DNA sequence: ACTCTAGCGGAGGCACGCCTCCGCTTCAAC
DNA sequence: GTTGAAGCGGAGGCGTGCCTCCGCTAGAGT
């Protein structure tokens, strides 16, 4: 595990083209891709994404030479948001900060379907994203552990997998999903 | 919610053809389908399934007119096993019986990828399978609740969704998966 | 305003999956 | 052993997705 060789923060910005029309298309593609990946997982049809973006398939391929480039970019963008959120929670009460972040994690990821795939992908960028996310969220768990609020026999990766798994499942409604999630988190909490 | 109009137990048997070669092909198709669904989810290629079974694509379609027929049959077969397991656990200590069954549930389902899809599918057969499973497993939770070992503010469906979600996620190894699962189940347990 | 080049779109070739159809094969009943 | 029908398999037509290539368009710099 080495530190990422480039800041996640800049992936989206650095690839965005300069010309006005090109930049507009780039944004439309990212938005369309986020939507399509959310619906169909990372195997969503690229032609469909181009269609949704109102752009020719050629334009998609010029901006993102492979499916992976596109997926990585969307994903990195979301991870970046999560990292910021973690920083903003630094001054809250430990257990509440942790659960608040996990809530964002549950909702914010590219797509429920794709989270699981990305969490285990080996590519450099995905690895870098995981590093950033662990670096940002890990301390939230450690803080809760030091405060005696979270059990010590699990690590942050365990926790993310648990939350990702539960949120990836279909529920009757949000109420049921939240109930199940909070029950599972009760298992993480040190019994009072 | 009405009772299923036919016994789950007989779906596989009733569809199995009589002629010797035909029955052999039928079995090979089921085995190949179970394997393929496990790898690729319920969208696995039917031509690939026929290939794995060493059978022409026409034979697949004769036995299973639609993808759904095939998927339902494999699924019903597994549910059937789970129902039997639940009955065998009836004489064990409540909490242990429940977790033992959930363990089987986690491992036995057609495929981790497909469980989630099937758990929310609306077709008659899937609904019947769910009914059977709830009827078989539900009492295990109720027994644990009455013994004061499981919390009362959740139902069996919540529990299955939780376990299905967690087991559907990729983990580094079985040890990690079991650890996470048991942490989540600690949330279900009434604190001693 | 002019230019020139970055950027555009989509036609088209390839691969693959779906499903039907029908001439051939093999079982099993007699 | 004969025979009829149940069962077989895969060719082929259709649709869809992948990706490349190239003639056209429109933004940016002068």
The per-residue pLDDT for range B76-123, each reduced to its tens digit, is 888 888 999 999 998 999 999 999 999 999 887 756 666 666 666 677
Distance from CA of A188 to the nearest CA of B (A): 6
Q: Which pLDDT tens digit goes with each residue over A30-56?
A: 999 999 998 888 889 999 999 999 999
- A42 contact to strand C (CB, 7 A limit): no
Tell me whether residue B2 is in a domain.
no
Tell me whether residue A4 is in a domain.
no
Residue A109 has pLDDT above 80, yes or no: no
Determine what percent of chain B is predicted with pLDDT higher than 70: 87
Q: Which pLDDT tens digit goes with each residue over B172-185?
A: 898 999 999 999 99
Tell me whether residue A2 is in a domain.
no
Chain D bases having any atom below 7 Å from a protein CB: 6-12, 16-22, 26-28
CATH classification of the domain holding B157: 1.10.357.10
Residue A140 has pLDDT above 70, yes or no: yes
> Phi, psi at residue B189, to the nearest 5°?
-70, 145
Tell me whether residue A51 is in a domain.
yes
- The pLDDT value recorded for residue A116 is 61
User: What chain B residue is nearest to A114 in terms of C-alpha separation?
Assistant: B169
Average pLDDT, chain B: 88
Tell me whether residue A46 is in a domain.
yes
User: What chain B residue is nearest to A151 in terms of C-alpha separation?
Assistant: B183
Tell me whether residue A90 is in a domain.
yes
| Closest residue by Cα to residue B78 from B122, B124, B120, B31 | B31
Contacts of B63 (CB under 8 A, 6+ apart): B15, B17, B25, B26, B29, B70
Tally of domains in chain B:
1
Å from the B151 CA to the C10 C1' = 60
The residue range of the domain holding B183 is 8-188
Which secondary structure element, helix H or strand E, spans residue B70, and what is its range?
helix B67-88
Minimum-distance CB partner of A165 among B153, B168, B188: B168
Contact B37, B114 (CB under 8 A): yes
- A58 contact to strand D (CB, 7 A limit): yes
Question: Which window residues (44-73, chain A) lie with Cβ within 7 Å of strand C?
Answer: 54-59, 61-63
């Amino acid at each position: 595990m080495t530190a990422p060789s480039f800041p996640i923060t800049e992936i989206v910005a650095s690839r965005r083209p300069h010309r006005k029309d090109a930049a507009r298309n780039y944004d439309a593609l990212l938005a369309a891709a986020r939507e399509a990946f959310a619906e169909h997982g990372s195997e969503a049809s690229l032609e469909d994404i181009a269609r949704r973006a109102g752009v020719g398939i050629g334009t998609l391929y010029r901006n993102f030479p492979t499916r992976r480039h596109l997926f990585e970019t969307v994903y990195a963008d979301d991870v970046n948001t999560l990292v910021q959120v973690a920083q903003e929670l630094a001054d809250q009460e430990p257990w509440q900060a942790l659960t608040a972040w996990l809530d964002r994690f549950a909702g914010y990821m590219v797509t429920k379907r794709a989270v699981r795939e990305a969490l285990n992908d080996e590519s450099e960028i995905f690895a870098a994203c995981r590093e950033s996310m662990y670096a940002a969220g890990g301390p939230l768990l450690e803080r809760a552990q030091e405060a005696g609020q979270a059990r010590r026999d699990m690590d942050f990766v365990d926790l993310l997998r648990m939350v990702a798994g539960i949120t990836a499942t279909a529920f009757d409604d949000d109420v049921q999903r939240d109930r199940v999630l909070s029950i599972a988190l009760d298992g993480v909490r040190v019994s009072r």
